Structure formats: structure tokens, C-alpha cells
Amino acid sequence: MLIALAAFVILRTAIVPKSFGEYGHFRGAAIAEIAAKPIVHAGHQTCETCHTDIADKKKTGKHVVVACEACHGALANHAEDPSIQPAKLDTAVICARCHEENSAKPKWFPQVVTAEHSGGLACDTCHQPHTPKIETDKTAARDAGGKH
């Protein structure tokens, strides 16, 4: 009986991880392991430490609340190594993700039917994405070119 008990204790000590039961009925070390996962989205505060000009520009428009990576995608690798350049965005696709008209969207949110609104033109033909109100100089240039 004693031998069996001793064998059980030795086996249990060998098998059960040291951190098991540290916080509850689980392996406590798992918390730190999960927390150590690398970050993929840098976060807008990190972007704004370098791109202060864009941050200042955004403050003047409605997109002040939109984080950089909402449009530009995950860019922790760029924050870590600025020589890694983010891909150029196609505004005809990116802007439509939010602003394409949909009956399920809240009524207060600005929406357009892009096929009618721009006829497939890229949105930055007229709008500056960081301060999205219509830019008169861009509109004039577009009209002079006979587009739209």
C-alpha cells in the first residue's frame, strides 16, 4: 500500500506541470505563453509616433476616429522595420467596404451606391482619404480631364 502511494506521489510529481494549480485547475504557465504571442497590429498610437503629419491631418476631418490599420491593414512589421512598405491601397475597394449603401447600416452613417456615385472611379480621385470631404482642386482637375 505504501509503495503504491509512494509510486503515485512520484508519478504525479513527474507528470503534473509545476505551475498546475497556481491560479486554479489549469497550468498557470499557459497564461504567460499565450500573452507572449507576437503582435500583428501595431496600434494607431504607434503609427502616430512617426506619422505625426497624417495624425494632424486626420484631426481636421471625420476620419479622426478611424485607426490607421482599419484601412492600411496590419502593420506591426512596418513599425518594427520601416523599410517594409505597406501595399498601395485601392480606394475604390477600401472605401466601399464601409461606405457602400446597405439597408442594414445605421441611417446616420454616410453611404453611397458607388456604381452611381463614382462610376468605378477610385474614391481618392475627388476625396482625400485622411480628411474625406470633397477637395475642390481635385474635382476641378477631374472635370478638366473629362472624367466622371
Partner 1 sequence: MLLPAAAVAWKYVLAGTPEEAPNYKLTEHWWAMLIDVTKCIGCGSCVRACAQENDVPEGYFRTWIERYHVSDWKIERPEVESPDGGKQGFPAGELSDGKTFFVPKMCNHCADSPCTQVCPVGATFITPDGVVLVDKKYCVGCRYCVQACPYGCRYLNPKTNTADKCTLCYHRITKGLTTACCEVCPTGARQLADLKNPKDPIHEFLKTHTVQVLKPQMATGAKVFYNGMDGSVR
Contacts (CB under 8 A) with partner 1, residues 62-81:
65-67, 69-70, 73-74, 79-80
Q: Is residue 125 a contact partner of residue 117, using CB atoms and an 8 Å limit?
A: no
Contact between 36 and partner 1 by CB under 8 A: the answer reads yes
Dihedrals phi, psi of 103, to nearest 5 degrees: -65, -20
Sole window of 84-92, 104-112, 120-128, 131-139 interacting with partner 1 (rule: CB under 8 A): 104-112
Q: CA dihedral in degrees (69, 72, 75, 79; nearest 10)?
A: -90
Sole window of 52-60, 102-110, 124-132, 138-146 interacting with partner 1 (rule: CB under 8 A): 102-110
Sole window of 82-90, 93-101, 118-126, 135-143 interacting with partner 1 (rule: CB under 8 A): 93-101
Query: Among 25, 116, 119, 137, which residue sits at the site for partner 1 (rule: CB under 8 A)?
Result: 25
DSSP 60-91: TSGGGGS-HHHHH---HHHHH-TTSPPPPP-H
The closest alpha carbon to 51, from 123, 124, 130, belongs to: 130
Question: Which residues of the shown chain bind partner 1 in the complex (CB under 8 A)?
Answer: 20, 23-27, 30-46, 49, 65-67, 69-70, 73-74, 79-80, 97-98, 100-106, 109, 113
